[in-house]
Amino acid sequence: MLSLEQVAGFVAVAEELHVGRAAERLSMTQPPLSRRIQMLERELGVLLFERTRRGMTLTAAGRAFLMDARRMLHLADDAAARVRRVPRGELGTVSVGFTAATAYTYLGQMVELATRQFPDVDLVLREMVSATQIEALHDGTIDLGLLRPPVRGTDLRSVLIVREPLLAALPAAHPALTDGHALTLADFDAVPMVMYQPTGSTYFHDLLRAAFAAGLVQPDFRQFVTQVHTALSLVRAGVGWAVVPSAARLLSFDGVSLIPVRGLEAFPAEVEMAWRTDRPQPARDALVTALTPSSPLRPQR
């Protein structure tokens, strides 16, 4: 098999057109280099040089081979340099799971930051609900998850990424918006509402239940949905009010107004970043370090 030493020898001689100088450049003596070239020519079955009184000249075959030879050496160098970057987390592929709602808030910033800081790390983004992300983390389908708490399970670690207030979603024309008095939890009592499903959207379901319990109110749940944007559609359709994370602002949903509610500040919606701890993954670990905020992000705007 062709060896890179042979190829490097060939390139040196082709550039110097002088075995002696080429050998010096390679820190060796002439004879072995001379033999190396001969062996290379024998292996290829092709004469690469014409031997003249005044050194060597490349044959047509030699000229053709020179380009490929240089390419081989560069590729070998580059490949070595590249692979050495992997354990530093500077190179690799990281699959990231995210929930639909995080896409409105954190995902854009994260991708921007990651690609700026680690231009040679490829991000593969896959939308999935929080429960599916936990499974995907375990079986290795994703390396990193952006999901709603709680994150439980052996070998999983997570950090809080985003903390955002919940807002009331009302039809834009609703009188509560104009009569001046600020909305409170008490205003939700017996009000027709769009609620989140206990299964499929456990996180928001439990969060809202806790909030209403604390406010001692009992809304009139008319529909149960799993997605924030579905809830907003139903509000626009007049089914009732809803409560959504402030990230929903970025959806710019016409016909629905999002307004703060006194008493809901104690129940912020949270997003966590989660990953497996059982074995290191350089690129993922570098991303985790780079993306962990010193304190949870507040929604922008």
Nearest to 37, CA basis, from 11, 16, 59, 15:
11
Residue 223 CA to residue 160 CA, distance in Å, equals 30
Show the tokens assigned to 274: 């989660």
In the complex, least distance from residue 257 CB atom to a copy of itself, rounded to whole angstroms:
47
**What element of type H or E holds 6?**
helix 4-16
The answer to whether residue 86 forms part of the interface with a copy of itself (CB under 8 A) is yes
The answer to whether residue 65 forms part of the interface with a copy of itself (CB under 8 A) is yes
Q: Which does 35 bind (CB under 5 to 8 A by kind): a copy of itself, DNA, none?
A: DNA
Indicate the residue among 84 and 298 with the shorter CB distance to a copy of itself: 84
The answer to whether residue 290 forms part of the interface with a copy of itself (CB under 8 A) is no
Q: Which does 228 bind (CB under 5 to 8 A by kind): DNA, a copy of itself, none?
A: none
The answer to whether residue 96 forms part of the interface with a copy of itself (CB under 8 A) is no
In the complex, least distance from residue 84 CB atom to a copy of itself, rounded to whole angstroms:
6
What does 60-95 look like in DSSP terms, one character per residue? HHHHHHHHHHHHHHHHHHHHHHHHHHGGGTSSEEEE
What does 167-229 look like in DSSP terms, one character per residue? EEEEETT-GGGTSSPPPBGGGGTT-EEEEE-TTTSHHHHHHHHHHHHHTT---EEEEEES-HH
Q: Which does 150 bind (CB under 5 to 8 A by kind): DNA, a copy of itself, none?
A: none
Residue 51 CA to residue 57 CA, distance in Å, equals 7
Scanning residues 28 to 57, which ones bind a copy of itself (CB under 8 A)?
A: 43-48, 50
In the complex, least distance from residue 232 CB atom to a copy of itself, rounded to whole angstroms:
40
Long-range own/partner contacts, residues 177-185 (CB < 8 A, 24 or more apart): 177/257, 177/259, 182/260, 182/262, 183/259, 183/260, 183/261, 183/262, 184/215, 184/261, 184/262, 184/263, 185/211, 185/212, 185/214, 185/215, 185/217, 185/261, 185/262, 185/263, 185/264
In the complex, least distance from residue 280 CB atom to a copy of itself, rounded to whole angstroms:
9
Indicate the residue among 145 and 215 with the shorter CB distance to a copy of itself: 145
The answer to whether residue 194 forms part of the interface with a copy of itself (CB under 8 A) is no
In the complex, least distance from residue 93 CB atom to a copy of itself, rounded to whole angstroms:
8
The answer to whether residue 246 forms part of the interface with a copy of itself (CB under 8 A) is no
The answer to whether residue 210 forms part of the interface with a copy of itself (CB under 8 A) is no
In the complex, least distance from residue 85 CB atom to a copy of itself, rounded to whole angstroms:
8
Indicate the residue among 91 and 193 with the shorter CB distance to a copy of itself: 91
Indicate the residue among 47 and 250 with the shorter CB distance to a copy of itself: 47
What is the residue whose two structure tokens read 């499974």? 135
The answer to whether residue 87 forms part of the interface with a copy of itself (CB under 8 A) is yes
The answer to whether residue 75 forms part of the interface with a copy of itself (CB under 8 A) is yes
In the complex, least distance from residue 47 CB atom to DNA, rounded to whole angstroms:
10
State the burial class of residue 200 (Cβ atoms within 10 Å of its Cβ: 0-12, 13-18, 19+).
middle
The answer to whether residue 124 forms part of the interface with a copy of itself (CB under 8 A) is no
